[in-house]
Amino acid sequence: MTAPENSDTPISLPRIGDPAPSFTAVTTEGTVNFPADYAGKWVILFSHPADFTPVCTSEFITFASMQAEFAAYNTELIGLSVDGLYSHIAWLRTIKDKISFNGHSGVEVKFPLIEDITMSVARQYGMIMPGEDNTKAVRAVFVIDPAGMIRTIIYYPLTLGRNFDELLRVIKALQTAETFGVATPADWRPGDRVIVPTAGSCGVAADRMDGRVDGVECEDWFFCTKEISADDVEAGIRKG
């Protein structure tokens, strides 16, 4: 579905597995051509409702304080709101000069913050939800892989700040699944057992159930796990 740039009708939400919608935008770190400028990188593209608001301020301090952690996993951060560039700059300076949160103060936000006063990018990504607010973006998170494909989508309402430990866990889990050819179960953290692909034949299923596949433990033929140490996970995914 398409809509005119200034329409109040939101564009439908991109889906997991879709190419990330492309755009060129002015940001606090210069012009960004997305996703072309980030080829070969994982990206967290996230929206926030407005500058100079307390929940958003707490989130930007948290994201900025964790930027190096995300970078260690080949992951870049890009923020967006429908405010203008000068508002962005003034807000980020205020954060650095005046605001403390969770033990962090003097935090400098060095990742790009997109100016989107026309809401064109927000509409491309389905970030404007009139049931919540038709003039502000909700708290959307898009995780985009090095090939420019959408891999995870998370949405939060205006009143709910994001869980940043979970966002880092998502990055680690996606990269672990891709690197080791596995899936990650509920509440997985590096060092926890991972799920191996379901057996593709009766013979493989029988071998697993009989304990003839080293390192693989099965609850039933379709639910089998193996151990990958936290050190091996970290070594494998930090190569990316």
Which CATH number is 54's domain given? 3.40.30.10
10 is a domain residue: no
Could you give the percent of the chain with pLDDT greater than 90?
76
Task: Looking at the structure, tell me whether residues 125 and 60 fall in a common domain.
Answer: yes
Could you give the percent of the chain with pLDDT greater than 70?
92
Task: Looking at the structure, tell me whether residues 94 and 154 fall in a common domain.
Answer: yes
Of the candidates 14, 7, 2, 4, the one whose C-alpha atom is nearest the C-alpha of residue 140 is: 14
* pLDDT over 80 at 212, yes or no: no
Task: Looking at the structure, tell me whether residues 220 and 136 fall in a common domain.
Answer: no
| Exposure class string for 184-223: b at 16+ Cβ within 10 A, else e | beeebebeebbbbeebeeeebbeebbeeebeebebeeeee
Instruction: Give counts: helices (H), strands (E), the chain.
Output: 7, 12
Of the candidates 97, 68, 70, 81, the one whose C-alpha atom is nearest the C-alpha of residue 28 is: 81
Please give the model's pTM, rounded to 2 decimal places.
0.90
28 is a domain residue: yes
Each residue's pLDDT tens digit, 79-88? 999 999 999 9
Contact 44, 75 (CB under 8 A): yes
Task: Looking at the structure, tell me whether residues 139 and 27 fall in a common domain.
Answer: yes
Q: Which residue has the higher pLDDT, 5 or 238?
A: 238
Task: Looking at the structure, tell me whether residues 127 and 28 fall in a common domain.
Answer: yes
Q: How confident is the model over 26-48, as a mean pLDDT?
A: 97
Choose the final residue of a domain: 162, 191, 217: 162
Task: Looking at the structure, tell me whether residues 158 and 53 fall in a common domain.
Answer: yes
17 is a domain residue: no
CATH number for the domain that contains residue 209 = 3.30.1020.10
User: Sorting pLDDT into bands at 50, 70 and 90, what band is 89?
Assistant: very high
Task: Looking at the structure, tell me whether residues 131 and 223 fall in a common domain.
Answer: no
Residue 225 to residues 183, 193, 229, Cα–Cα distance (Å): 9, 6, 13
Q: Which residue has the higher pLDDT, 174 or 13?
A: 174
Task: Looking at the structure, tell me whether residues 126 and 222 fall in a common domain.
Answer: no
pLDDT at 11: 55
Task: Looking at the structure, tell me whether residues 205 and 148 fall in a common domain.
Answer: no
186 is a domain residue: yes
Task: Looking at the structure, tell me whether residues 58 and 149 fall in a common domain.
Answer: yes
- Using left for φ > 0, alpha for ψ between -120 and 50, and beta otherwise, residue 229 falls in beta
Question: At how many degrees (to 10) do helices 85-98 and 54-65 cross?
Answer: 70
Return the amino acid letter for 84. G
* pLDDT over 90 at 69, yes or no: yes
Each residue's pLDDT tens digit, 172-197? 999 999 999 999 999 999 999 999 98
| Residue 93 among known ligand-binding residues | no
70 is a domain residue: yes
135 alpha carbon, distance to own chain's centre = 23
* pLDDT over 70 at 1, yes or no: no
* pLDDT over 50 at 6, yes or no: no
**Annotated catalytic sites, by residue?**
56
Q: How confident is the model over 73-81, as a mean pLDDT?
A: 96
Q: Phi/psi of residue 165, each to 5°?
A: -60, -40
Q: pLDDT averaged over the chain?
A: 90
230 is a domain residue: yes
Residue ranges making up the domain that contains 224: 181-237
Choose the final residue of a domain: 162, 190, 210: 162
Domain count of the fold of the chain: 2
Each residue's pLDDT tens digit, 52-67? 999 999 999 999 999 9
Choose the final residue of a domain: 162, 196, 223: 162
Task: Looking at the structure, tell me whether residues 128 and 97 fall in a common domain.
Answer: yes
pLDDT at 2: 38
167 is a domain residue: no
Task: Looking at the structure, tell me whether residues 149 and 203 fall in a common domain.
Answer: no
14 is a domain residue: no
